[in-house]
Amino acid sequence: GQNIDQPTEMTATEGAIVQINCTYQTSGFNGLFWYQQHAGEAPTFLSYNVLDGLEEKGRFSSFLSRSKGYSYLLLKELQMKDSASYLCAPVRENAGNMLTFGGGTRLMVKP
Amino acid sequence: GAGVSQTPSNKVTEKGKYVELRCDPISGHTALYWYRQSLGQGPEFLIYFQGTGAADDSGLPNDRFFAVRPEGSVSTLKIQRTERGDSAVYLCASSPGTGVGETQYFGPGTRLLVL
């Protein structure tokens, strides 16, 4: 099975930096996805990490430590449109890439 | 190109009725996934198809739920004898295959309300 833990809610200020953490316990780990989901909309892909380290993609970066069962999503230069839920989803090997999502972190960006 | 589409976008039904939810994946995607999302929660896996066959249906909550993908493209999720607890957003996703790290692309979902 999988245990996924991420904060329920976070608040940050426009222009600031925010880090959203995710810890997981999974058998046969095969990488971790981050998705963004605006209220009432479909989740959209942000990043996939399978190796340890930081991957940067514009204002968003994602970090993974396999040995610690830990990942974070880093959002820089926050914009109001970044207000959304951020979903962490580790993948089990031999599971057809089926995603098991955490409960999501609802980020509110304030002016 | 066209993304994943789902119909209907909203469905209201009465307890005990039968419903069908449809998913049109991205053309050429061989893998198709169904998830269910309750308010304030992350999506919960139900079933996935590789081609026409259900490769893993371990997430289906009980035998009232069934899904098909007869031609390896469009999929239908069928719920018999609906219960109020079935109310949720049903999300469909597709990916080119099931290789490591293949991105799943989600549809807008069907919001099901069982009265």
What string of DSSP letters covers A18-69?
EEEEEEEEESSEEEEEEEEE-TTS--EEEEEE-SSEEEEETTEEEEEETTTT
Q: How confident is the model at residue A98 (pLDDT cuts 50, 70, 90)?
A: confident
Instruction: Give the bridge partners for B9, in sequence order.
Output: none
Contact flag B40-A103 (C-beta cutoff 8 Å): yes
Structure tokens at A32: 């971790």
More confident residue, B55 or B67: B67
In degrees and rounded to multiples of 5, residue A82 shows phi and psi of: -80, -5
List A residues 45-64 in contact with B (Cβ-Cβ < 8 A).
45, 48, 50
Determine which of B24, B41, B69 to mutate to test the interface with A (most A C-beta atoms within 10 Å): B41
Instruction: Give the bridge partners for B89, in sequence order.
Output: B37, B111
So what's the pLDDT on residue B1?
Answer: 58
So what's the pLDDT on residue A72?
Answer: 98
In Å, how far is B16's CA from the nearest CA of chain A?
A: 26
For residue A1, is pLDDT > 60?
no
Chain segment A21-76, per-residue pLDDT in tens: 999 998 788 899 999 999 989 999 999 999 999 999 999 999 999 999 999 999 99
For residue B19, is pLDDT > 80?
yes
Nearest-CB residue to B48 (from A45, A96, A101)? A96
Q: How confident is the model at residue A95 (pLDDT cuts 50, 70, 90)?
A: confident
Is the Cβ–Cβ distance between B104 and B33 less than 8 Å? Answer: yes
So what's the pLDDT on residue B28?
Answer: 92
Q: In which residue are the tokens 């989740």 written?
A: A43
Contact flag B45-A98 (C-beta cutoff 8 Å): yes
Interatomic CA distance for residues B95 and A26, integer angstroms? 23
Contact flag B43-A42 (C-beta cutoff 8 Å): no
